C-alpha cells in the first residue's frame, strides 16, 4: 500500500502481486493491476523469482520495487531484474551482496574506518573454532548468521559449555531462514542502544544522512517500537554517526535508500552492526521528522533523477530534525501469552486519525489473518513538537484503535506509553527483559471477559447494519453507540480491547 501510493503520486501505474491467501488484501484492489503468483507457501509465490519476473513482463512494468521483506535484500533478485530489462528499485547487486555477507561487510567497514564490534571476519568452521574465538574475545559473545538479519540464526553464549549447542542451533536456524548456515562470532556488548542512520544515495555520487532512529525496544531482536530522534544522541554525536554511515554507504557504491545500524554503548561509543539494503519498516518516523518522502525518492533515484535532499543531518548540514515521531508495530500476536501468533478473521477495524497521526496498514475488516507470513498488520505513527507530545498523541491514537477478531500487540504498546522508564527515555536493547514483568502481565480475567463481551456486542451491532464505532462514539442517528455506552458502564477507559 505504501509503495502503491507513492507510485500514484509520482504519476506511475502500480501492479500488485499476491498469493492465494492474500487475494482479498487491500493492496490487490488498490493497484492498477494484480497478478496471482501461486499458493500460500512463499517458496511457491513471493520467493519465486521466475514468477515475479514473468508477472512484471506480462503487465508491461518497467521497474520492480521489492518492499522490505522476502527478496528485498537478495542480490540474485536484483540481478534477475536487470537481466530481464527491469529496473530494480534499490541498490546495485554488488552492494546488496557486500552488505548481505556480514563478515564481508565487517571487513569493508574496517577498511573504510567505520568502528565495528570486535569479532571474526571469516566464517567459523566448527564449534571448536567458535569456542577458541569466544575465549579470545571474552564472554558473553553472539554467534550470528553471516547471511542473517532480523535476529534469525543468532545465539547468545555465556561460557564454554554453551558454545556447541548454540553453534548447532544457530546454524540450523540460519540454514532454514537464509539457505546458508555459515556463522561468525562477535563480542556481546552490555546494554547498548540500537541506533540506526537513514541514508539516501543517488547515481551522481551524492549521499545524504537523514538522522537517527532509536530502535532499542525489541523482543528476540525484532523491533517493536521506534522513534526519531533518539534522546541519547546529541547534535555532535549525530554528526559522527552520520559521517560513519555515509562512509559505510560510499564504501560499497550504494544507491537508493538504506539504513546503517549501530550499537551505542552507555559511554557514547558506537559500533557498526549491519546495513539493511532496502527501505525499513520504521521509515515513517524519519519522514515525519525530516519531511522527506523516502519511497518517492527511491522511485526518482531509480529513474535516474537526482535526489531532492542533500547533506548530512545535524549542525552544519542541510537537514535538521523537526519535532519527534514514534512508531508502534501493530502485530497479530498476544503480548500476554509470550507473543504467540494470533489468527482469525478481522471482524471490525476502527483506525485512529487526528493531528500528527499516521496509519500505514495492509488490512481491513473481513481479512483472514493467517500464520503463513509475518504477523505485522499495520504501523501506527505519531508526531509531535516534542517527545512528550508525540507520546501523548500515540497514547491517544492507540486508545482510539479498535481491532476485533484476534489478539494484537495494541495493549502492550499502551502500557509502554505509560511506563516510567520509557517516559524518561531510559531504554536499551534489554528494556523488555527488565520491564517485561510489568508490561506483559496478563490483565485481570474479569476485565478481559467484559471487554470480549463488549466486542461481541460491537460485532453483533455491525451485523445488524448499524453504523457504530465512529470517532465521536455515535451512531448514524446521533445517539452514542451501544458498545461505547456499555464499555464505559463497565469501566473500560479505552473501550473494547
Q: Which residues are catalytic?
A: 278
Q: What is the Cα–Cα distance from 85 to 48, expressed in whole angstroms?
A: 18
Q: Strand 193-201 vs strand 256-264: parallel, antiparallel, or unpaired?
A: antiparallel
Cis peptide upstream of residue 278 (ω within 30 degrees of 0): no
- How many contiguous H segments (helices) and E segments (strands) does the chain have? 17, 21
Residue 487's H or E segment, with its range, is: helix 482-489
Q: How far is CA 432 from CA 361, 395, 437, 439, in A?
A: 25, 19, 9, 8
DSSP notation for 40-96: SSGGGTTT-HHHHHHHHHHTT-SEE--TTSTTTT-HHHHHHHHHTT-EESS--HHHH
Q: Cell digits for 419?
A: 511506563
C-alpha cell at 258: 538504506
What are the phi and psi torsion angles at 270 (to 5°)? -130, 155
Q: Is 337 exposed, middle or buried (0-12, 13-18, 19+ CB in 10 A)?
A: exposed
Residue 41 to residue 368: CA distance in whole angstroms: 16
Strand pairing report for 368-369 and 344-345:
antiparallel
CA-nearest of 232, 144, 162 to 194 is 232
CB 23 within 8 A of CB 41: no
Residue 394, classed as helix, strand or coil, is helix
Amino acid at each position: 500500500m505504501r509503495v502503491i501510493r507513492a507510485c500514484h503520486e509520482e504519476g506511475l501505474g502500480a501492479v500488485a502481486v499476491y498469493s492465494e491467501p492474500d487475494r482479498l488484501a487491500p493492496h490487490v484492489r488498490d493497484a492498477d493491476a494484480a497478478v496471482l503468483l501461486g499458493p500460500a507457501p512463499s517458496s511457491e509465490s513471493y520467493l519465486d523469482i521466475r514468477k515475479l519476473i514473468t508477472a512484471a513482463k506480462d503487465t508491461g512494468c518497467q521497474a520492480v520495487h521489492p518492499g522490505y521483506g522476502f527478496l528485498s535484500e537478495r542480490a540474485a533478485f536484483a540481478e534477475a531484474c536487470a537481466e530481464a530489462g527491469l529496473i530494480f528499485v534499490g541498490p546495485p547487486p554488488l552492494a546488496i551482496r557486500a552488505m548481505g555477507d556480514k563478515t564481508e561487510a565487517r571487513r569493508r567497514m574496517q577498511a573504510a574506518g567505520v568502528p565495528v564490534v570486535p569479532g571474526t571476519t571469516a566464517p567459523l568452521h566448527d564449534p571448536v573454532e567458535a569456542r577458541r574465538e569466544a575465549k579470545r574475545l571474552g564472554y558473553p559473545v553472539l554467534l550470528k548468521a553471516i547471511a542473517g538479519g532480523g535476529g534469525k540464526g543468532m545465539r547468545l553464549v555465556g561460557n564454554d559449555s554453551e558454545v556447541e549447542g548454540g553453534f548447532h542451533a544457530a546454524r540450523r536456524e540460519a540454514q532454514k531462514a537464509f539457505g546458508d548456515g555459515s556463522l561468525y562470532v562477535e563480542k556481546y556488548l552490555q546494554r547498548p542502544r540500537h541506533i540506526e542512520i537513514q541514508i539516501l544515495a543517488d547515481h551522481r555520487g551524492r549521499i545524504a544522512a537523514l538522522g537517527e532512529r532509536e530502535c532499542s525496544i525489541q523482543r528476540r531482536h525484532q523491533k517493536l517500537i521506534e522513534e526519531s530522534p533518539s534522546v541519547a544522541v546529541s547534535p555532535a554525536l549525530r554528526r559522527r554517526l552520520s559521517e560513519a554511515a555515509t562512509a559505510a554507504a560510499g564504501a560499497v557504491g550504494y544507491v537508493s535508500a538504506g539504513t546503517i545500524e549501530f550499537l551505542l554503548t552507555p559511554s557514547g561509543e558506537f559500533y557498526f552492526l549491519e546495513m539493511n539494503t532496502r527501505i525499513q519498516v520504521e521509515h515513517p518516523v524519519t519522514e515525519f521528522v525530516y519531511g522527506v518522502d523516502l519511497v518517492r525518492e527511491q522511485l526518482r533515484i531509480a529513474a535516474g533523477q537526482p535526489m531532492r535532499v542533500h547533506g548530512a543531518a545535524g549542525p552544519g548540514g542541510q537537514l535538521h530534525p523537526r519535532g519527534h515521531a514514534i512508531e508502534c508495530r501493530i502485530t497479530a500476536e498476544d503480548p500476554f501469552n509470550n507473543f504467540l501468533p494470533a489468527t482469525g478473521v478481522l471482524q471490525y477495524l476502527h483506525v485512529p486519525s487526528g493531528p500528527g497521526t499516521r496509519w500505514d496498514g495492509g488490512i481491513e475488516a473481513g481479512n483472514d489473518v493467517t500464520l503463513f507470513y509475518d504477523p505485522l498488520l499495520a504501523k501506527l505513527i505519531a508526531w509531535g513538537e516534542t517527545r512528550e507530545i508525540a507520546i501523548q498523541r500515540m497514547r491517544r491514537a492507540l486508545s482510539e484503535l479498535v481491532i476485533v477478531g484476534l489478539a494484537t500487540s495494541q495493549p502492550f504498546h499502551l502500557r509502554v506509553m505509560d511506563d516510567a522508564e520509557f517516559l524518561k527515555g531510559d531504554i536499551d536493547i534489554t528494556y523488555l527483559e527488565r520491564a517485561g514483568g510489568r508490561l506483559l502481565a496478563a490483565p485481570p480475567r474479569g476485565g478481559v471477559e467484559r471487554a470480549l463481551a463488549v466486542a461481541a456486542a460491537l460485532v453483533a451491532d455491525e451485523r445488524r447494519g448499524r453504523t457504530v464505532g465512529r470517532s465521536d462514539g455515535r451512531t448514524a442517528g446521533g445517539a452514542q453507540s451501544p458498545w461505547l455506552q456499555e464499555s464505559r458502564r463497565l469501566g473500560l477507559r479505552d473501550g473494547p480491547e
